[in-house]
Amino acid sequence: MQLGELIGSGRDADVYALNENWVLRRNRDGRSQAGEAAVMAHLHAHGYPVPEIHPAPADTPADLVMRRVEGPTLLDAVLAGQIGVAEVGATLAELLVRLHAVPPRGAAGTGTGTGTGTAILHLDLHPLNVIRAADGPVVIDWSNTREGTPAQDWAMSALILAQVSQDGSELSRAAAELLPVLLSHRPAAIVLDAGVMAWARDERAADPNHPPGDLDAAVALVIARAG
């Protein structure tokens, strides 16, 4: 397959244009993205805002081909002054609630909006992984997706924001403002207690790509803000 220009690079993958409608994402380590593609196709079929998936090329089955989505990320939109933190927090919360209402793959009935039922999780939902497209937000980067409880997804999103808010970067202030806004929109059934936050901390610590920072302090901040 002939690849076009490199249009984006993440922590472990590169995205290339194929044409004006489709892009290809390739993991640098050659790891297959078939599982991620299957989850995204399932979500798309249920009306959740993810890029449409195209079958991978026969000669490179580990690649992920998806419809091209134009627009800035929510983070870029905030930094450019196009939207405010309140809108970003409400958008992230709505996307989490909608995601957890989608039935898991192979499951009958409806998904769950509660803190304890089984649901599809993103586990990396933050402003850099949401594109502000012309017809609404689109969630990208499903490399961490799995099934679990909605509270785990909320815990991870909150922990990421809390960690960034304390890392001294240029994004710290925005993350510090966004964290309480996101938490204020969480459903009553989502309890971010020491147990679920310890789970999120361990998951984050095991990720070799997570940024430096005091995870214990970030956990304490989430629990305090969620109380």
Q: Please determine, for residue 36, whether its predicted confidence score (pLDDT) is greater than 80.
A: yes
Residue 130: its pLDDT value, please? 98
Domains of the chain: 6-67 (3.30.200.20), 74-226 (3.90.1200)
At residue 31, does pLDDT exceed 60? yes
Give the pair of three-digit tokens for residue 38. Answer: 């299957």
Highest mean pLDDT among 57-66, 111-120, 135-144: 135-144
In the predicted structure, residue 127 carries a pLDDT above the cut 70: yes
Average pLDDT over residues 25-34: 88
